[in-house]
Amino acid sequence: MVFLLLVAIVFNYWLLAGLFFLITLFGLWEFYSIFTTEAVHPQRLFGTIGGILLYMTSIVVFRVDIPDLPVNPSFIPILLAIPLFFLPFVFEIYRRKPQPLVNVAITITGILYIALPLALLNMMNGEEVVRFWKLPVVLTGFFILTWIYDTGAYLFGKRFGKHELFKRISPKKTWEGTIAGAVLTLLASVGLYFLAPDISLPDWIIFSILIILFGSFGDLAESLFKRSFNIKDSGSILPGHGGILDRFDSIFISVPFVFLYLVLRNLI
């Protein structure tokens, strides 16, 4: 997965956008499959199509020049989100399924939890972003720091971990692993500053802190989902890794916070 993402980032914008598209598609379908039970019936088809439409607008806004638009292109995702978040209430009226409010809530949650973060990731690869060796610095740095944190926390925790981080949700995660992963990530952010000094050192450090904090929450949130349904993996589409949600859980919650910081700092 690291290899695929790096090749896509290096090779071509459209290749990366296509990879994010597939992750969005399979991630949404996987999410709704997990939450569909005898008692709960989210609007799987609408949620998947709606999420894909939201993701596709990130491409339209940042890479496709559409003349004579009646609105600022940056407003398109916001305008599209309005019906996406309210149409499920209308559709649920005609479905005759139990627990209608739960069905609507899960349908909207799937779009917010999966499609929106991946759309924001795609927006980090705009034409005007800071680049190093033709690589989008912020997007590449985001993945590098995320991988270092996840890998460091896993390896160090497996070898030296003794104190459980959150036993109720994920008993295998430890404080030792989390702290080690955080230290490695902070050190890596300093290294990235020397490679790409166009992004200031404080920005790199805050960037890494957001990834550490909200990446951990993303991992725990997905563990909570799986534990509530008593399943080990969210799917089997990625051999050796489980499902899309298993592989990308740490980014789904961290991306919105990182993106907001980058916008406020005018870094994208």
Q: How many domains does the chain have?
A: 2
- The pLDDT assigned to 188 comes to 95
In this prediction the pTM is 0.87
Residue 187 sits in the same domain as residue 238: yes
Tens of pLDDT, residue by residue over 43-60, are 999 999 999 999 988 787
Residue 68 sits in the same domain as residue 53: yes
Tens of pLDDT, residue by residue over 149-163, are 999 988 988 888 777
Residue 77 sits in the same domain as residue 118: yes
Tens of pLDDT, residue by residue over 211-243, are 999 999 988 888 888 778 777 766 666 655 667
Does the pLDDT value for residue 62 go beyond 70? Answer: no
- The pLDDT assigned to 75 comes to 67
Residue 2 sits in the same domain as residue 104: yes
Residue 133 sits in the same domain as residue 102: no
Map the chain to HEC letters.
Answer: CHHHHHHHHHHCHHHHHHHHHHHHHHHHHHHHHHHCCCCCCCCHHHHHHHHHHHHHHHHHHHHCCCCCCCCCHHHHHHHHHHHHHHHHHHHHHCCCCCCHHHHHHHHHHHHHHHHHHHHHHHHCCCCCCCEECCEEHHHHHHHHHHHHHHHHHHHHHHHHCCCEEECCCEEEEEHHHHHHHHHHHHHHHHHHHHHCCCCCHHHHHHHHHHHHHHHHHHHHHHHHHHHHCCCCCCCCCECCCECHHHHHHHHHHHHHHHHHHHHHCCCC
- The pLDDT assigned to 207 comes to 93
Does the pLDDT value for residue 166 go beyond 80? Answer: no
Residue 138 sits in the same domain as residue 267: yes
Residue 168 sits in the same domain as residue 67: no
Final residue in a domain of this structure, among 123, 146, 174: 123
Mean pLDDT (whole number) for 174-190: 92
Does the pLDDT value for residue 255 go beyond 70? Answer: yes
Final residue in a domain of this structure, among 123, 155, 178: 123
Query: Which residue did the predictor score with more confidence, 190 or 3?
Result: 190
Tens of pLDDT, residue by residue over 7-41, are 888 888 888 889 999 999 999 999 999 889 888 99
- The pLDDT assigned to 235 comes to 63
Tens of pLDDT, residue by residue over 87-126, are 999 999 999 898 999 999 999 999 999 999 999 888 888 7
- The pLDDT assigned to 48 comes to 95
Final residue in a domain of this structure, among 102, 123, 144: 123
Average predicted confidence (pLDDT) for the chain: 85
Domain with 17 in it = 1-123
> Of 173-187, 202-216, 225-239, where does mean pLDDT reach its minimum?
225-239
Residue 78 sits in the same domain as residue 148: no
